[in-house]
Structure 1
């Protein structure tokens, strides 16, 4: 599942880092905290690895 925005991609990267033990899970906030709890490492990797070119900074509310 590719990221729909740069912000979503950054949150997935932070959650992936915590899942791998590179950062503390207690440092996560908001969406990244929820992503770490509800998504697998593969899902997070796929979302974080999305190309940034052409992505909006934030996703539209109706998506």
Structure 2
């Protein structure tokens, strides 16, 4: 599942880092905390690897 915005892509990258043990869980904020618990490492990798070009900074509420 590709990220819909740059913010979502960044949060997935932070969550992936924590899941791999490279970042402390206490350093995470907001959506990235819940992503660690609810998504697999592969799902996080797929979302974090999304190309940023052409993505909005934040997804609209209707998405």
Cα distance in 1, alignment partners of residues 34 and 61 from structure 2:
18
Task: For residue 50 of structure 1, give the secondary structure of its aligned residue in structure 2.
Answer: coil
Structure 2 partner of 1:61: 61
Cα distance in 2, alignment partners of residues 58 and 47 from structure 1:
15
Structure 1 partner of 2:8: 8
Structure 1 partner of 2:41: 41
Q: What pairs up with 1:23-42 in 2 under 5 angstroms?
A: 23-42=23-42
Alignment TM-score, normalising by the size of structure 1? 0.98
Structure 1, unmatched stretches of 5+, are none
Alignment TM-score, normalising by the size of structure 2? 0.98
